[in-house]
Amino acid sequence: MRNIADKLKPGVSRSMHLFAAPLLWTAVGIMLMERGLGWMGLHVTLRLLLIALLAGTAKSLTVLDKTAKKVLSRIMGFSDNTCIGAVYPWKTWLLVLMMMACGIALRIFFKPSPLLGAVYFAIGWALLLSSRHGWAQWLNWLRRR
């Protein structure tokens, strides 16, 4: 029975985990930034964009960088054939679901606006900026191989 379970498990190499972690942050970050820019509109003031960039940078440097480094350290302890879903611990997946629910609630209760766009842009920029740790770790892994 154990052999069947092992064959069905979506296990991947540590290298794939190191690639998947920053890819997810990068993809979601770009999507949020694009959506945020769309809501801010072409007439967005440079000031609003600058505030969003500064807020996102602050979030990246004070919160997300620590999380990214913790995730990467965890991945480095993985053996090959670890389930791809283990790229993040279950508490992180729960947090992702809660953040998605908050995003849906924001769109339900508030019309897209330049201010909401700036919030989305800031969060996206924070994710994108903090993904740099994962990309660096993945590239270092490839160079050592």
Domain range enclosing 18: 10-144
Residue 118 lies in a domain: yes
For residue 1, tell me if it sits in a domain.
Answer: no
| pLDDT band at residue 131 using 50, 70 and 90 as cut-offs | very high
- Is pLDDT above 70 for 7? no
Residue 4 in domain: no
pTM score, two decimals? 0.87
Residue 81 vs residue 140, higher pLDDT: 140
Please give the tally of structural domains in the chain. Answer: 1
pLDDT(43) > 80: no
Q: What is the pLDDT of residue 92?
A: 84
HSE-CB at 143 with a 13 A cutoff on CA atoms is 6
Residue 37 has pLDDT above 70, yes or no: yes
- Residue 5 within any structural domain of the chain: no
Instruction: Tell me what pLDDT residue 8 has.
Output: 64
In a domain, 46, yes or no: yes
- Angstrom distance (rounded) from CA 2 to CA 90: 23
How far from each other are the two terminal CA atoms of the chain, in whole angstroms? 34
Share of the chain above pLDDT 90, in %: 65
Strand partners, 11: 83
Span 69-100, pLDDT tens digits: 999 999 999 988 899 888 888 888 898 899 89
Position 24 in a domain? yes
Would residue 3 count as lying in a domain? no
Q: Check whether 4 has a pLDDT greater than 80.
A: no
Sign of CA pseudo-dihedral 96, 27, 139, 7: positive
Asked if the structure places residue 110 within a domain, the reply is yes
